Amino acid sequence: MLDTPGDAPATRETPAARAKGGLLVVGSFVVLLFAIELVNMVTLHALNGVFGLRPRSADGVLDIFTFPLLHANLNHVLSNALPLIIFGFLVFMSGLRVFLTAVACSWLGSGAAVWLIGAGGITVGASGLVFGLFAFLLVRGFFNRSWWQILLSVVLFMAYGSILFGLIPSMAGYVSWQAHLGGAAGGVLAAVVLRARAAARAR
pLDDT confidence of residue 59? 82
Q: Contact at 8 Å (CB) between 97 and 8? A: yes
pLDDT of residue 170: 58
The reported pLDDT for the residue numbered 121 is 87
CB 99 within 8 A of CB 153: no
| Partners of residue 53 on adjacent β-strands | 123
Rounded to the nearest angstrom, the gap between the alpha carbon of residue 172 and the centroid of all alpha carbons in its chain is 18
Instruction: Report pLDDT for 201.
Output: 78
- pLDDT in the model for residue 104: 98
What burial class does residue 44 get, using C-beta atoms within 10 Å of its C-beta: 0-12 exposed, 13-18 middle, 19+ buried? Answer: exposed
pLDDT for 171 equals 59
DSSP 163: G
Q: How far apart are CA 132 and CA 105, in angstroms?
A: 8
C-alpha distances (whole Å) from 139 to each of 51, 146, 178 are 32, 10, 20
| pLDDT tens track, the chain, 203 positions | 344 445 544 456 898 999 999 999 999 999 999 999 999 999 999 999 999 999 999 888 999 999 999 999 999 999 999 999 999 999 999 999 999 999 999 999 999 999 999 987 899 999 999 999 999 999 999 999 999 999 999 999 999 988 888 887 755 556 789 999 999 999 999 999 999 888 777 76
Planar angle of CA 24, 27, 31, nearest 5 degrees: 130
pTM of the model: 0.90
Which of 193, 188, 64, 175 lies closest to 134, judged by CA? 188
Q: Is 126 helix (H, G, I), strand (E, B) or coil?
A: coil
Closest CA to 108 of 71, 53, 45: 53
